[in-house]
């Protein structure tokens, strides 16, 4: 947890972590890159980076606030899933709201407690406050959702369960029918539901999460395109290359050259 300075490790270089990062900015001008997309904001903001997302701080002018790094296994899994599905980066709460005041109060308390001589019970209290903080954010996200009918609520549950399954099984489950079977619904019903709520069919979501992992491997490893194709579940490297270009408008090697080689040259 950091006050004033946002982050402790080399956040200016692209990297990914096996933990979550939650940033509450009180003020400042920020430019970040999260999974190869630029995120810019000013003033008060809440931002969450999840495990394996490639991210780095491009620019931070006059930053003040807190950043917490935490293992997702320490927090309520229902809350974590809701945050992953609902939060948009950046989330921009107004400073005058009670929600924002409660966030800053909890952050301040956590920082002060952490500065003490810690023991097991102090750590437990910090974990309890962290869960309270994340639950507070989840409650705000839910409160801002438009009212839904029961049928629509069921559709949202199906969509979110499907998205959760894609994160676990995208390497081996490439067919919509596999996800439909896991959810005990028909393939047509799953596809109609997901397309209605997201604008994209089930197959597109499976492809997009596969290509996102391929982007991360292209960036962080020197594996060949063929090796990466196998790692994300495609037995035909030629098909994988065509799919990658269809989604990103770049070949895998063009992507590596544009993002990684450019970044590496700027660091030396």
C-alpha 6: how far from chain center: 18
Kindly tell me the burial class for residue 71, based on how many C-beta atoms sit within 10 Å of its own C-beta (0-12, 13-18, 19 or more): exposed
Q: Is the pLDDT of residue 69 over 70?
A: yes
Beta bridge partners of 68: 22
Q: Where are the beta strands (DSSP E) in the chain?
A: 2-3, 20-34, 37-42, 45-49, 55-70
What mean pLDDT is predicted for residues 70-92? 87
- pLDDT at position 2 is 43
DSSP-assigned letters across all residues of 43-62:
SSEEEEE-TT--EEEEEEEE
pTM: 0.74
pLDDT digit string, tens, across residues 154-174 = 888 899 899 999 999 999 999
> pLDDT at residue 131 above 80?
yes
Q: What does the pLDDT read at residue 5? A: 41
Q: pLDDT at position 110, please?
A: 93
- DSSP string of 192-216, one letter each residue: HHHHHHHSS-HHHHHHHHHHHHHHH
For residue 236, give the H/E element and its range: none
Give the Cα separation of 143 and 137 in Å (integer).
10
Per-residue confidence (pLDDT) for residue 156, from 0 to 100: 86
Q: What is the DSSP letter of 257?
A: I
pLDDT at 12 over 70: no
pLDDT for position 7: 43
Whether residue 267 has pLDDT greater than 50: no
Q: Which domains does the chain have, with CATH numbers?
A: 2-143 (2.60.120.280), 150-267 (1.10.10.60)
CA distance 190 to 158: 7
pLDDT, tens only, 207-256: 999 999 999 999 989 999 999 999 999 999 999 999 999 999 999 999 99
112-126, 156-170, 181-195: the lowest-pLDDT one: 112-126
Angstrom distance (rounded) from CA 63 to CA 28: 4
């Amino acid at each position: 947890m950091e006050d004033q300075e946002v982050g402790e490790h080399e956040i200016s270089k692209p990297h990914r972590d096996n933990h979550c990062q939650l940033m509450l900015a009180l003020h400042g001008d920020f430019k970040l890159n999260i999974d190869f997309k630029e995120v810019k904001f000013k003033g008060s903001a809440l931002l969450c980076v999840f495990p394996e997302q490639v991210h780095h701080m491009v620019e931070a002018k006059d930053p003040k606030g807190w950043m917490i790094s935490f293992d997702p296994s320490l927090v309520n899994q229902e809350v974590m899933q809701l945050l992953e599905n609902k939060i948009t980066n950046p989330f921009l709460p107004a400073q005058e709201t009670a929600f924002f005041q409660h966030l800053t109060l909890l952050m301040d308390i956590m920082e002060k407690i952490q500065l003490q001589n810690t023991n097991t019970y102090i750590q437990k209290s910090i974990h309890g406050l962290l869960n309270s903080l994340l639950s507070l954010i989840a409650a705000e996200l839910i409160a801002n959702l438009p009212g839904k009918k029961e049928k629509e609520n069921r559709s949202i549950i199906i969509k979110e369960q499907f998205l959760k399954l894609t994160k676990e099984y995208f390497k081996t489950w490439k067919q919509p029918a596999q996800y439909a079977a896991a959810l005990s619904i028909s393939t047509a019903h799953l596809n109609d539901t997901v397309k209605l709520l997201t604008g994209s069919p089930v197959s597109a979501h499976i492809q997009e999460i596969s290509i996102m992992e391929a982007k991360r491997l292209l960036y962080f490893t020197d594996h060949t395109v063929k090796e990466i194709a196998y790692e994300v579940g495609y037995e035909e490297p030629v098909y994988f290359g065509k799919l990658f270009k269809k989604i990103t408008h770049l070949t895998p090697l063009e992507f590596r050259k544009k993002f990684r080689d450019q970044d590496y040259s700027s660091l030396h």
